[in-house]
């Protein structure tokens, strides 16, 4: 009997076996419809084999689906990723089939001439239609428009049989990129980097690189050149460029289009499902060379993947926390290894893990030293707020106000950076001290004045700002505490009423289109002062921006998270790097109450190496990543007792293992969310311990009740 193991989208750790009916031919990667209970569901064949004399009564595969077979290495990747993250392989496989959720686009209806037939009554408009159309086929409305006639004229010709309607299968065309379309002239560092990358793609085999250069040093230009050379050698090569945020894609797509004379395919949640289906089918058919996308693009069925670029590789947005928990950068490296491809991790502020790999010689280290052309890095200075505290209920100190004023006078732009959405992060009752939170949730409600709502950024809960304190009932006792970007903009407008101001956050730019519009207004010089969260901190080039003011440089350093220093260093480097990108020198001013903090001192000195050395030493002392590895197990349930019980059971059944410790259970960083209690256990292991093997053995010892959700986070981003 022939049996196939099929990956189906269920939270189970194994593939399901099905009988392969007589006469059916299936192989690894085939998409099949299989019965599950009363339904048929889509699955992917992981393996097909002959068995002898099994008397298990297996259900049979219903039929092989008419969709393309997943390439062998895509299946390898899916299975590897599931093992690495301890996720269900069928759910990983489903991530690779996401593009197929939309139906095929409907065929396009067009009209064309029927042979040489002529209209019985030729008129001016009718002749115009036939002349416009010629030998081609066109959609009827387009034809009428092009011929300058009413649609009735086209319809009349159709009725008469002079024209006919045909249906054309909508196969999206992806123009082949032309590597010679608009070559760049590279500086020597860029040329060396592009040469090294292209040599690796040309040779084939897994080759990882760190492309390390300050913001504006021309990393993008360098990897695009490497992509061009890769395509010159192999015009069928496929290249994947991952970005941390959708807002950054348009800029890159425009650059790629200008460089190669053809637009790349785009892949992220903002792309409409029918379009995604077209991209998916083009990728698997090898009809599409360059894909620009978010982390989910890693699961596309590439057939000839030669180069993967992870731009802004340090960015925490590459980590997916919900559903399948994985780090896009780590999986990108794995995908490249499995495909035998080159992977380039690009950043001005690489993650400590990546820097460490480069230090150890595991990654080739390509450095771009200077900014391209005449642009120089901004001068960064710390503004000690103890010496010049802002007035009560204001957030900008006198020196920063003066700097903004001078910048305005010169007709240049200012970016004020504060990584906090809304008007005020906390609303507090002066009478009883109560802080407003969403129901059954630990995180505070954030006041948003533009929309007049209090919003929980964690759960999305919103309410109008109440007149009375919900806790003690006092009237008019609620005060807004601390600043968000909206409040800083309010202050700026009062100080500089003539300046044109705007706020850039995920509230004012919730989607790619509105982000693009804001970026365009900034680029066109229609905004003098932009108050922004991290949404505007990365990637964008604003030629007239010469002053960056960081409103609260201490903000990220206060959290209990051990990655706080690294993250703050990266974020502030990116934010300050926005200044002085073109021919005008820029400067950055960081307001701080703790100018002696090592992170801020390293920023002011522009000394990344010092920061990295200090941070690595601290991590080494605690055996934390990259010196050791971590994994978190998070339990959550509305039933607090069930969470407690499972947490205790887990703590009581830890397998024996050396060079590994388990901490907890303890309350998770957010212990109560939407009424769900959350507990966490943390595992720390030496690097050479089989962490996944340990976790699997451990989890196999407990039974997770239906009421509790258990999530495993291998290599957590926050710890």
Name the residues that contact ligand ADP, by CB under 6 A: 184-187, 190, 213, 215-221, 372, 541
Determine the Cα–Cα distance for residues 704 and 384; give it in Å rounded to an integer.
52
Beta carbon nearer to ligand ADP, 217 or 591: 217
- Is 388 annotated in a binding site? The answer is no
Q: Helix H segments across 261-348?
A: 273-284, 328-339
Beta carbon nearer to ligand ADP, 370 or 642: 370
Write down the least CB distance from residue 193 to ligand ADP, Å: 11
Write down the least CB distance from residue 342 to ligand ADP, Å: 18
Determine the Cα–Cα distance for residues 8 and 27; give it in Å rounded to an integer.
15
Q: What is the 3-state secondary structure (H, E, C) of 665-687?
A: EEEEEEEEECCEEEEEEEEEEEC
DSSP assignment of 372-421: STT--PPEEEEEETTTSPPPTT----HHHHHHHHHHHHTT-EEEEE----
Write down the least CB distance from residue 191 to ligand ADP, Å: 9
- Which residues, at least 6 apart from 717, have a Cβ–Cβ distance to it below 8 Å? 316, 319, 321, 327, 563
Write down the least CB distance from residue 284 to ligand ADP, Å: 30
Write down the least CB distance from residue 29 to ligand ADP, Å: 36
Do residues 646 and 705 make contact, with C-beta atoms less than 8 angstroms apart?
Answer: yes
Write down the least CB distance from residue 373 to ligand ADP, Å: 6
The CA–CA distances, whole Å, from 694 to 298, 646, 708 equal 27, 18, 21
Do residues 232 and 179 make contact, with C-beta atoms less than 8 angstroms apart?
Answer: yes
Write down the least CB distance from residue 588 to ligand ADP, Å: 16
Beta carbon nearer to ligand ADP, 216 or 580: 216
75 class by beta-carbon count within 10 Å (0-12 exposed, 13-18 middle, 19+ buried):
buried
Beta carbon nearer to ligand ADP, 182 or 613: 182
- Which residues, at least 6 apart from 113, have a Cβ–Cβ distance to it below 8 Å? 130, 133, 135, 162, 163, 164
570 class by beta-carbon count within 10 Å (0-12 exposed, 13-18 middle, 19+ buried):
buried
Beta carbon nearer to ligand ADP, 129 or 309: 309
Do residues 318 and 328 make contact, with C-beta atoms less than 8 angstroms apart?
Answer: yes
Beta carbon nearer to ligand ADP, 191 or 704: 191
Beta carbon nearer to ligand ADP, 92 or 227: 227
Write down the least CB distance from residue 292 to ligand ADP, Å: 14
Do residues 341 and 305 make contact, with C-beta atoms less than 8 angstroms apart?
Answer: yes
- Is 472 annotated in a binding site? The answer is yes
Dmax over CA atoms of the chain, in Å, equals 93
Beta carbon nearer to ligand ADP, 223 or 363: 223
Binding residue ranges for Zn(2+): 429, 432, 456, 469, 472
Binding residue ranges: 429, 432, 456, 469, 472
């Amino acid at each position: 009997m022939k049996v196939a193991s099929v990956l189906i989208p269920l939270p189970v750790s194994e593939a399901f076996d099905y009988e392969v009916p007589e006469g059916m031919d299936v192989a690894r990667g085939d998409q099949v419809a299989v019965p599950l209970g009363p339904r048929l569901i889509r699955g992917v064949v992981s393996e097909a084999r002959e068995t002898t004399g099994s008397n298990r009564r297996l259900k049979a595969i219903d039929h092989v689906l008419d969709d393309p077979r997943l390439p062998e290495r895509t299946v390898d990747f899916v299975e590897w990723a599931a093992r690495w993250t301890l996720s269900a392989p069928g759910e990983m496989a489903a991530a690779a089939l996401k593009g197929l959720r939309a139906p095929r686009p409907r065929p396009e209806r067009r009209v064309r001439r029927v042979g040489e037939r002529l209209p019985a009554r030729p008129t001016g408009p009718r002749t115009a239609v036939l002349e416009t159309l010629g030998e081609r086929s066109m959609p009827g409305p387009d034809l009428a428009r092009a011929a300058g006639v009413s649609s009735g004229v086209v319809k009349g010709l159709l009725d008469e049989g002079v024209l006919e309607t045909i249906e054309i299968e909508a196969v999206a065309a992806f123009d082949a990129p032309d590597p010679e379309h608009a070559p760049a002239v590279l500086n020597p560092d860029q040329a060396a980097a592009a040469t090294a990358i292209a040599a690796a793609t040309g040779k084939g085999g897994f080759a990882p690189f760190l492309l390390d250069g300050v913001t504006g040093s021309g990393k993008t230009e360098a990897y695009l050149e490497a992509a061009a050379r890769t395509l010159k050698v192999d015009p069928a090569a496929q290249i994947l460029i991952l970005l941390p945020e959708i807002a950054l894609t348009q800029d890159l797509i425009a650059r790629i289009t200008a460089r190669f004379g053809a637009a790349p395919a785009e892949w992220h949640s903002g792309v409409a499902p029918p379009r995604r289906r077209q991209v998916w089918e083009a990728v698997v058919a090898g009809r599409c060379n360059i894909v620009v996308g978010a982390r989910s693009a890693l699961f596309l069925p590439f057939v000839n993947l030669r180069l993967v670029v992870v731009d802004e590789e340090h960015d925490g947005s590459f980590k997916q926390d919900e559903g399948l928990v994985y780090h896009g950068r780590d999986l990108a490296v794995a995908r490249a290894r499995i495909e035998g491809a080159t992977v380039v991790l690009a950043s001005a502020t690489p993650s400590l893990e990546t820097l460490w790999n480069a230090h150890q010689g595991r990654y080739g280290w390509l450095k771009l030293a200077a900014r391209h052309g005449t642009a120089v890095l901004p001068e960064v200075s710390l503004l000690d707020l103890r010496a010049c505290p802002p007035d009560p209920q204001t957030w900008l100190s006198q020196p920063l106000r003066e700097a903004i004023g001078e910048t305005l006078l010169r007709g240049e732009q200012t970016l004020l950076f504060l990584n906090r959405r809304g008007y005020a992060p906390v609303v507090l009752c002066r009478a009883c001290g109560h802080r407003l939170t969403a129901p059954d949730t630990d995180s505070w409600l954030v006041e948003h004045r533009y929309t007049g709502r209090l919003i929980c950024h964690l759960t999305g809960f919103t309410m109008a700002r109440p007149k009375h304190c919900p806790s003690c009932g006092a009237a008019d006792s609620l005060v807004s505490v601390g600043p968000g970007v909206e409040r800083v903009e309010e202050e700026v407008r009062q100080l500089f009423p003539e300046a044109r101001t705007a706020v850039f956050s995920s509230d004012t730019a919730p989607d790619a289109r509105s982000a693009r519009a804001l970026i365009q207004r900034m680029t066109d010089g229609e905004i003098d002062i932009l108050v922004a969260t991290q949404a505007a901190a990365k990637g964008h080039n604003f030629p007239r921006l010469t002053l960056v003011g960081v409103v609260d440089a201490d903000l990220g350093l206060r959290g209990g998270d051990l990655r706080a220093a690294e993250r703050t260093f990266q974020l502030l480097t990116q934010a300050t790097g926005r200044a002085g990108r073109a021919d005008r020198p820029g400067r950055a001013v960081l307001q701080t109450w703790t100018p002696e903090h090592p992170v801020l001192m390293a920023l002011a000195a522009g000394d990344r190496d010092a920061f990295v050395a200090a941070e690595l030493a601290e991590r080494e002392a605690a055996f934390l990543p990259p010196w050791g590895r971590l994994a978190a197990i998070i339990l959550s349930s509305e039933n607090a007792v069930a969470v407690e019980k499972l947490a205790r059971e887990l703590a009581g059944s830890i397998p024996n293992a050396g060079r590994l410790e388990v901490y907890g259970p303890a309350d998770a960083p957010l212990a109560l969310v939407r009424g769900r209690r959350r507990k966490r256990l943390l595992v720390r292991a030496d690097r050479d311990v089989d962490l996944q093997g340990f976790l699997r053995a451990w989890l196999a010892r407990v039974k997770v009740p239906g009421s509790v959700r258990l999530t495993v986070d291998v290599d957590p981003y926050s710890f």
